[in-house]
């Protein structure tokens, strides 16, 4: 049976989801695990199978990206304001890009999803429920692939690929004496939150220490069943042959 899409929480009362034909796939993972490389490869592979693909990424909305950049420059944001800026950006993309694409039957590849926002908010405050409530309007993805890496392997990668930046190191939190210590503590915390969520939200965990090709192979293996299902419903395969979806 094709799983019907649902909202995480209270949802958008003015926008019932109905039967969205498309598939929503989120690729999660901390900074520097190679999400973007993987998504580029996935996109090509999915398109070759005849599916239209929409890629959506963090802070890419027309409405908000400039404001967020400006706010980051100023670096005088408190936790709520920071999280709400991200939520607004997310809502803009969700309603103006993602849902319309799902209605049109696209495969939507999300380079990070609300989980990144949750983890970032939790890094900045004790109370956990609020941010989950705020993102109650988000659509639950069909599949979340979590590219998991440990801090020891992450550090050399980030340094080789351009170094650590202020926000990826959580410098606003003053966790360590310098950029390196701060980055380490911040990313450790993020990985911890992601691990928790992996269980709670049933992520498909993929070991991001492997080679690019191996990771890609694993990702495709996880995604393939979703795409097949889409084709099968078109060909009207008898009910008994369809696999039970989780």
Partner 1 sequence: MRKWLEAAGYSVFFTEWNSSTLVKDTTKMGKKKKSLTPTTFSLLHATDFADRLFYYILPPLKAGQIVLADRYVYTAFARDVTRGVHPKWVRKLYNFAARPDRAFYFKVPIQTAIERILRARAKIKYYEAGMDLNLSHDIVDSFRLFQSNLLKEYDKLTDEYGLTVVDATLDINEQQEMVRDAVTKALEGYSIKRRTHGRKKNVFWRRFTVPPAR
Q: Which residues bind partner 1 (CB under 8 A)?
A: 9-14, 62-64, 66-67, 71, 77-78, 80-81, 84-85, 87-88, 91-92, 95-96, 130, 133-134, 136-137
- C-beta closer to partner 1: residue 134 or 149: 134
For 134, counting Cβ atoms within 10 Å of its Cβ (0-12 exposed, 13-18 middle, 19+ buried), the class is: buried
- C-beta closer to partner 1: residue 121 or 218: 121
Q: How far is the CB of 108 from partner 1 (least distance, A)?
A: 18
| Residue 160, both tokens | 């080789």
Q: How far is the CB of 90 from partner 1 (least distance, A)?
A: 9
CB 223 within 8 A of CB 27: no
Which whole-number Å values give the CA distances from 181 to 148, 176, 207, in the listed order? 20, 5, 24
> What gap in Å lies between CA 203 and CA 199, rounded to an integer?
7
Q: How far is the CB of 238 from partner 1 (least distance, A)?
A: 39
Closest to 167 measured CA to CA, from 34, 56, 67, 30: 30
- C-beta closer to partner 1: residue 72 or 210: 72
How many C-beta neighbours within 10 Å does residue 64 have?
20
- C-beta closer to partner 1: residue 9 or 156: 9
Q: How far is the CB of 3 from partner 1 (least distance, A)?
A: 23
Q: How far is the CB of 169 from partner 1 (least distance, A)?
A: 23
Q: What are the b/e assignments for 97-117, b being 16+ CB within 10 Å?
A: bbbebbeeebbbbbbbbbbbb
Q: How far is the CB of 140 from partner 1 (least distance, A)?
A: 16
- C-beta closer to partner 1: residue 12 or 155: 12
> What gap in Å lies between CA 85 and CA 87, rounded to an integer?
5
How many C-beta neighbours within 10 Å does residue 230 have?
18
- C-beta closer to partner 1: residue 94 or 107: 94
């Amino acid at each position: 049976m094709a799983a019907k899409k649902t909202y995480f929480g209270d949802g958008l009362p003015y926008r019932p989801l109905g039967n969205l034909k498309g598939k929503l796939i989120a690729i999660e993972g901390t900074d520097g695990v190679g999400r973007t490389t993987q998504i580029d490869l996935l996109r090509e592979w999915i398109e070759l199978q005849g599916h239209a693909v929409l890629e959506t990424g963090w802070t890419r909305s027309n409405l908000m990206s400039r404001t967020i950049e400006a706010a980051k420059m100023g670096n005088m944001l408190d936790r709520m304001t920071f999280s709400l800026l991200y939520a607004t950006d997310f809502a803009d993309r969700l309603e103006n890009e993602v849902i319309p694409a799902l209605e049109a039957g696209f495969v939507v590849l999300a380079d990070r999803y609300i989980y990144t926002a949750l983890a970032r908010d939790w890094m900045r405050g004790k109370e956990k429920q609020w941010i989950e409530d705020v993102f109650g309007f988000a659509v639950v993805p069909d599949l979340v692939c979590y590219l998991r890496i440990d801090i020891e392997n992450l550090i050399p990668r980030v340094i080789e690929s351009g170094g650590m930046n202020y926000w990826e190191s959580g410098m606003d939190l003053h966790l360590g004496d310098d950029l390196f210590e701060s980055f380490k503590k911040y990313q450790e915390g993020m990985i911890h939150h992601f691990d928790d969520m992996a269980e709670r939200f049933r992520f498909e965990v993929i070991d991001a220490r492997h080679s690019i090709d191996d990771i890609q192979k694993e990702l495709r293996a996880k995604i393939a069943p979703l795409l097949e299902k889409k084709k099968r419903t078109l060909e009207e395969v008898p009910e008994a042959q369809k696999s039970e979806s989780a």
